[in-house]
Amino acid sequence: MRGIRLLYLFVLLPFSAHAIVNVEGLRRVPEKDGFSGRFDMSLSGDSGNTETFSGSIGTRLQWKQGPVTDLFILNYDYGESGNVTDVNNGFAHLRHIVQVTGNRAYEAFTQVETDEFARLSFRGLLGAGVRYRVHEDDNDKTVVGLGAFHAWETLEEQEGVSDGGTDQFWRANVYLVFNYQLNDRVSAVSTTYYQPALEALSDARVLEEAGLKVKLANDLDLKISLEVVHDTRPPETVKKTDVSYSSGIEYHF
């Protein structure tokens, strides 16, 4: 059985790295003190009349001690079509969480990321906020997060564009999470992020991710998700909206 569970890791379809990283979709509340985590990996490809390759690797590690939880997330995606790279992005995220009461927690976080096809050579950010659990019962839970972060962003210089180089800015970070337990094995979740620039509220980034999770075993889940990311002022040559969907197996330890 253990070998079968490990085999499932290699059929996991990759999740994408975007301007907004959905930490809520990757967070798992530790049930007890100590170390826990998740690892996933996928490889796929075609050869012959069609030449494609894609691969993804990701991990989530958590350490809990009393009211304090430290969370580390790492993900990298790469893909080729016709021997030409068409996906190349990744991120790393570190978050420190202090549970003050049963319904309120303080968070501090830092993140670095890159995305070749969004012209993002580098983005680093440092932020903090507060997280409120506004409702919870046996079947559903609602969480609101409020905070802000400072970002340093370097866009790739390209011929014909004028927005290359490095910029610094502040953004608010607001998120809303609905989690509903349909039955003992199936749960649905919706996560919405809203990140407006503090100097120009019309410059905003929005993410909506909806998903279903089906428990296959105590430490194994099937996950299906749809993600929409919208940037009102994206870099030149980059589209405002990205839509992606994924399905795969998630292994916990």
Give the domain extent around 25: 2-251
What is the model's pLDDT at position 27? 64
Phi, psi of 8 (to 5 degrees): -60, -25
* Cα(177)–Cα(156) distance, integer angstroms: 34
Whichever domain contains 138, its CATH number is 2.40.160.40
User: Which strand ranges, in their side-by-side order, compose the sheet holding 104-115?
Assistant: 34-46, 52-65, 68-81, 84-99, 104-115, 120-136, 140-155, 165-181, 186-197, 200-217, 220-231, 241-251
What is the model's pLDDT at position 20? 66
What is the model's pLDDT at position 251? 72
Kindly tell me if the per-residue pLDDT of 4 is higher than 50. Answer: no
- Count of helices and strands (H, E) across the chain: 1, 12
* Cα(205)–Cα(229) distance, integer angstroms: 7
| pLDDT, tens digit (0-9, with 9 covering 90-100), for 141-174 | 999 999 999 999 999 988 888 888 999 999 999 9
> Which of the two residues, 8 and 136, has the higher pLDDT score?
136
Binning pLDDT at 50, 70 and 90, where does residue 29 land? Answer: low
**pLDDT mean across residues, the chain:** 85
What is the model's pLDDT at position 5? 36
Kindly tell me if the per-residue pLDDT of 253 is higher than 70. Answer: no
Give the range with max mean pLDDT: 34-48, 99-113, 207-221, 235-249: 99-113
* Cα(81)–Cα(84) distance, integer angstroms: 5
* Cα(249)–Cα(151) distance, integer angstroms: 33
Kindly tell me if the per-residue pLDDT of 14 is higher than 60. Answer: no
Count of domains in the chain? 1
Verdict on whether the full-model pTM lies above 0.85: no
| pLDDT, tens digit (0-9, with 9 covering 90-100), for 46-89 | 888 889 999 988 888 999 999 999 999 999 999 999 889 999 99
For a pLDDT cut of 90, what percent of the chain falls above it?
58
What average pLDDT does this structure show over 116-125?
Answer: 92
Q: Round the CA-based radius of gyration of the chain to a whole number and report it.
A: 19
